[in-house]
Amino acid sequence: MRNISQAILIIIVFYSLSFAQVTQETGGLQGIETPINPEEYVVMPGDNLLVTIMGKNTYSYNTFVTYEGKMTINIPMAQITEAGLSKPYHEIIDAVGVSGLTLKQAQDSINIVFARYFKETKIKLTLTGIHTCIVFVTGEVEKPGAYNAFPTERISQVINRAGGVTPVGSKAKIRLLRNGQFYTEVNLEQFEINGDLTANPFIESGDIIFVPAVSAMVSVKGAVFGRGGSKLRTSALTTEKERISEGVYELTPGERVLDLINKAGGVTPWADLNATYIERLAFGSSERKKIPVDLNKILLENDQSANLEMMNADILVIPPINTLVYVEGEVDAPGSFFFTPNQRVSHYIGQAGGPTNYANLRRAYLKRENQKISILPDPITEPGDIIYVPRVSFKWWQDYVQVLSSIAIPLAVTVISVMLAAQQ
């Protein structure tokens, strides 16, 4: 009996040191979403337990669930030292199977066992350390392989540990195999977009996570916020954001325009809801046809008849409204400027550095579609307007002098050359 007890004690010490090392590496206890429910948590090999005995004999000890799924039964003993003093210690007298039981069931079983040794005693089990699982991640991930994980972790956490899904991997059709059989299909897109935890289940030891390649994809570009690497970016020099983004998203059967817009982060405030369209490959051809999409009906009127079903290789285009005003011609800094409501032409000419000395403001005009509008009354601008300031032909007397000198000097040189040649 003593030899068996010593062997078990050695295992306990070895495992305790290993657990202490893991704890030190992770910086403390493993984080969990909610407190563990003793009536739901299933005890497995590797769990650390604090056993508290209360009654006529009150004491406690730490133990763990062995690879055989057992935990030790320890009772206090006394050892006489060489100096004749009594030194207390715990003797391991038994090991009881608890693997596969809930923490509450394991506590009830241990109470029955301890009743053989002590009367009127109550036993309480406290979980102090969670066992680790071996989970296999295969398919379209950056680093396929076997990973250690905790049973309080979800599929997404283990996939992230494997480097994440590759650009051609499916997030919507991940297969979870448990006990060698298909268990469920995992849709991490639902979790990422809607926060649906049921689409991101907890793992168990021995699980196989298989990430297949996508079977269909759709491009979404234009005035959408985007996600990941395709999201709108902020300039390093200003706080202005890019006006458009472009990304490729997985298409699952039955998804429609609004589903893909949600995947792409939603439309921006400057999206042109009236000009949206789908570019779709014509049957048996490499050419694409345009299919108009009325986002006003979909987003503002909740008209699902306009919410068209998407097809593989579609390109969904959501153009931005032209929110720029252009200033050209005789100004110090011609260019494009962001439209500001209720601003007049003079505001944008000022933004362009003002007119040059050769600007002809009387003949300057504002071009709006097919119209030319004089800027003399300083009209209010609209998005997409082009302000053109022409150059005057002759403005000051210096211009005339410059023109005459450019003609007279070469002429005088020619006459003098002819006269000199005649004298010779």
User: Per residue in 79-134, pLDDT tens?
Assistant: 655 565 666 777 888 899 999 999 999 999 999 998 888 888 899 999 999 999 99
Write out pLDDT tens, residues 234-275.
655 555 567 788 899 999 999 999 999 999 999 988 888 989
**Residue 383: per-residue pLDDT:** 84
Query: To which residue do tokens 């119209």 refer?
Result: 371
* DSSP line for 156-169: HHHHHHTT-B-TTB
Picking from 100, 129, 158, the residue at the C-terminal end of a domain is 129
Rounded distance between C-alpha atoms, residue 348 and residue 351, angstroms = 5
Sequence-ordered alpha helix ranges (H) in 211-296: 257-263, 295
339 vs 299, more confident: 299
Q: 12 with 121, same domain?
A: yes
Rounded distance between C-alpha atoms, residue 39 and residue 202, angstroms = 17
Report if residue 395 sits inside a domain. no
Report if residue 269 sits inside a domain. yes
pLDDT surpassing 70 at residue 3: no
Q: 9 with 120, same domain?
A: yes
**Residue 18: per-residue pLDDT:** 42
CATH code, 236:
3.10.560
**Residue 416: per-residue pLDDT:** 65
Q: What Cα–Cα distance (Å) separates residue 49 from each residue in 60, 66, 205, 317, 390?
A: 10, 11, 19, 58, 86
Report if residue 397 sits inside a domain. no
pLDDT surpassing 90 at residue 29: no
As a whole number, mean pLDDT of residues 321-337 equals: 88
Q: 187 with 262, same domain?
A: no
Q: 30 with 99, same domain?
A: yes
**Residue 25: per-residue pLDDT:** 40
* Residue 352 φ then ψ, to 5°: -85, 10
The helix/strand/coil state of 61 is strand
pLDDT surpassing 90 at residue 409: no
User: Mean pLDDT across the chain, nearest whole number?
Assistant: 84
Rounded distance between C-alpha atoms, residue 173 and residue 187, angstroms = 6
**Residue 28: per-residue pLDDT:** 56
For residue 359, give its domain range.
324-389
Sequence-ordered alpha helix ranges (H) in 175-256: 188-194
Report if residue 398 sits inside a domain. no
Of 264, 266, 271, 220, residue with least CA distance to 243: 271
Report if residue 10 sits inside a domain. yes
Write out pLDDT tens, residues 151-196.
999 999 999 999 999 989 999 999 999 999 999 999 999 998 888 9
As a whole number, mean pLDDT of residues 14-36 equals: 55
Q: 20 with 97, same domain?
A: yes
420 vs 228, more confident: 228
**Residue 203: per-residue pLDDT:** 94
The helix/strand/coil state of 10 is helix
Q: How many domains, the chain?
A: 4
* Residue 79 φ then ψ, to 5°: -120, 130
- Percent of the residues in the chain that have a pLDDT greater than 90, as a whole number: 57
Report if residue 418 sits inside a domain. no
CATH code, 348:
3.10.560.10
